[in-house]
Structure 1
Amino acid sequence: MQPTKKKKPTHWRFLGTFALLLLVSGTLMWWIAQPHLLDSPSAGEVDLPLRLALAGLLLVVVLGATVACLQRGYTRPIHQLVDYVRDQREGKAGEPPTALVGRDDDIGLLSHEIQQLLDTLREQNERLLKQTLNDPLTGLGNRRLLEQRLDVALPLSRRRMAPLSALMVDVDHFKDYNDHYGHPAGDECLVEIANVLRDTFRRETDIVVRLGGEEFLVVLLDVDLDEAMRLAEAMRTMLQAVGIPHERSSAAPVVTVSIGVATALPGTPIDVESLIACADSALYQCKAKGRNCSVGSIVDRQMLENANLPTA
């Protein structure tokens, strides 16, 4: 196999073209300036204006060709590179022009380096955004993601006149579990509970977050109280079937959860804090009943007023 012939760098090709242009133009200038090349000895004096005009014309042509070469070889690519960087800054994702990346000079190298730098920054920004919106232990969303998603979900639920359900999930006697089995085991327990939540609530519109500690919150769009209670019981029994031992629990010999369910009727004006407070209120009823159960309630304007919660 014959080795591939290496292509000369762009700047060397430009310098070669420019040197050839200077050589040709210099030769023509010298030829124009020689009066003995004309037909008569006095022709040099007679045709002096003509020779000056030809020299001026040749000079203009050389300057124009030089400017055209510079524009094609350097000015235009630099403008393309600046436009590409500006587009990336404005959020228009895309690759740099092929003509830039394919160059084998400093401009091509710079284009390639800028592309790699932007790709790295984009990946880092996505990673940072994911870290700021997700709980590092369980991988579920956090409070910030909840507020971000509900800023869209609550107005949409009102416009569609659809019910909105919230499930507050609390691990029963989790402090006793941590004290007895240790914090690493407690972290593994929370991860397992997060996996059960993912398996239960699979719709793209389902919002599943970890509020902190052993508390989780699930927000379900267009789900009434009966369906929310069915899902809550499915999640609770699924976790109990996993059978994570919990010797210090008075609710069961395995890890269990209590789930408070609150459903806002269609058209009920409610904000994030009120929704969480209503689900938390139902959760307290679970604890009063002995834990390891689900309690549901309807959230209406009267309930919000009785609980001194603000209405949107």
Structure 2
Amino acid sequence: MAQHRSPGPKPPAPRLGVRLTLGFGLAELAIWQLLSPFPAWPFALLTGIDPQLRMLIALMLLACGFVATLAWLRRHIGRPLHELATYVGEQSQRIAPETPATLPARASDIDNIRASIDRLIATLESQHAELLKQTLNDPLTGLGNRRLLEQRLATLLPLTRRLNTSLSLLMIDVDHFKAYNDYYGHPAGDTCLIEIANVLRATFRRETDVIIRLGGEEFLVVITDVADRDAIRLAEAMRSMLQLVGIPHDKSPTAATVTVSIGVATAAAGTSVGPDTLLACADECLYDCKADGRNRSAHRRIGDAQARVYTAPPAPERSDTVIRESA
């Protein structure tokens, strides 16, 4: 049985240079015959016409050829190039237009240009997305970095004021991390930071929660529309979950496992506060935690003079939490 074969590609159309050369050659031949004293057939039929009239006919023929050439160039080159330029411009503005149906469907030079531009745009968009991801994410933990924090705070602070909701910022510091790195080595330190990042992801799971690695052993979380007591509860939940993970830390004077101290600053609903003020307040709460023995959290509402410090249980078997006011 004979196999069915798909038809081969169509032979390429004559090139633009060949067409234009042929057209202008025929036009020049016609004009030369019109102006010649001994024209060939069929131009010999015009020998009885006045020479000035023949000159006029030749000029009219030349003008018609020029106009026809311009019309052909506009239809087959100018219009496709204009549509191609419009298509590329819309692609660069990420409008994602459909490919114009009037562009040539055959494998012409314009099609090749269009296909090359499509591939270039797709490559540039992919590289741009990857570069943006790298500039906003921490390469070790995959969390956001300081640049992402600045972008999110610039959006969330005005938004929470407009919606009349609260915003809390949790600044988290790993206790005695330098001693951990010195004793266990930097690869183990990196693994420890990754584990802490996983605990943060497991604790703060809302789409609006922003988890940041500030650098080194410092992390930061931004949560919105959460009451003071809920922000404190989340901070304590994260701290307790990390202790349950139980990453050994033989060089820590605070506990036998890796622990964290957390400073929580809250801007109440309707409070006008800048990012620097919020960060400074959370940093002061973190300082209170460290001064009080670490492995605990402290909370302060913007405008309050003192922070409430929530102390970790002194022994693993105890489940109660001692809450006291800081002096």
Bin of the TM-score, shorter chain as denominator length: 0.7 to 0.9
- Classify the secondary structure of the residue corresponding to 1:45: coil
Query: Would the alpha carbon gap of residues 108 and 53 (structure 1) be closer, same or farther in structure 2, given more than 3 Å must change?
Result: same
Aligned partner of 1:284 in structure 2 is: 287
Q: CA deviation at 1:20?
A: 7.0
Q: CA deviation at 1:182?
A: 0.6
Name the structure 1 match of 2:250: 247
Q: Per the alignment, do residues 291 and 280 of structure 1 end up closer, same or farther by CA in structure 2, a change over 3 Å counting?
A: same
Q: Deviations over 1:64-88 (max 9, x none)?
A: 3222222222222223333334444
Give the alignment's Cα RMSD to 1 decimal. 3.2
Which aligned pairs between 1:43-82 and structure 2 lie closer than 5 A? 44-46=47-49, 54-82=57-85
User: What is residue 257 of structure 1 aligned with on the other side?
Assistant: 260
Equivalent-residue separation in structure 2 for 1:137 and 1:204 (angstroms):
21
Name the counterpart of 1:230. Answer: 233
Cα 1:267–1:77 shift into 2, 3 Å: same
Residue 130, structure 1, aligned to residue 115, structure 2: no
The two structures have a TM-score, normalised by structure 1, of 0.82
Q: For 1:188-199, what aligned pairs fall within 5 Å after superposition?
A: 188-199=191-202
Q: Does the aligned pair in 2 maintain the 1:167–1:261 contact within 8 Å?
A: yes
Partner of 2:87, secondary structure, is: helix
Structure 1, gaps ≥5 residues long? 305-312
What is the Cα deviation at residue 288 of structure 1? 3.1
Q: 1:295 to 1:29 in 2, by over 3 A?
A: same
Q: Higher mean Cα deviation, 25-34 or 107-116? A: 25-34
Greater relative contact order structure (CA < 8 Å, 6+ sep): 1
User: 2:208 matched to 1:205?
Assistant: yes
| Aligned-residue offset at 1:219 | 1.0
Distance 1:157 1:129 in 2: 26
TM-score, length-scaled by structure 2: 0.78
Mapped pair 1:161 → 2:164: yes
- Number of residues paired by the alignment? 300
Alpha-carbon distance, 1:178 to partner: 0.7
Confirm or deny: 8 A CA contact 1:36 1:44 kept in the other structure. Answer: no
| TM-aligned CA deviation for residue 184 of structure 1 | 0.8
| Kept after mapping to 1: 8 A contact 2:34/2:43 | no
> What does residue 190 of structure 2 align with?
187
Quick one: structure 1 residues 46 and 142, their matched pair in 2 at CA, closer, same or farther if it must change by over 3 Å?
closer
Consecutive unaligned residues in structure 2, runs of 5 or more: 307-327
Deviates more, 1:250-259 or 1:90-99: 90-99
- Note if 1:152 corresponds to 2:119: no
One of 262, 265, 270 as aligned partner of 1:267 = 270
C-alpha distance in structure 2 between counterparts of 1:132 and 1:104, whole Å:
40
Change in CA separation of 1:8 and 1:60 when aligned onto 2, cut-off 3 Å: farther
Q: Which amino acid aligns with 2:174?
A: V
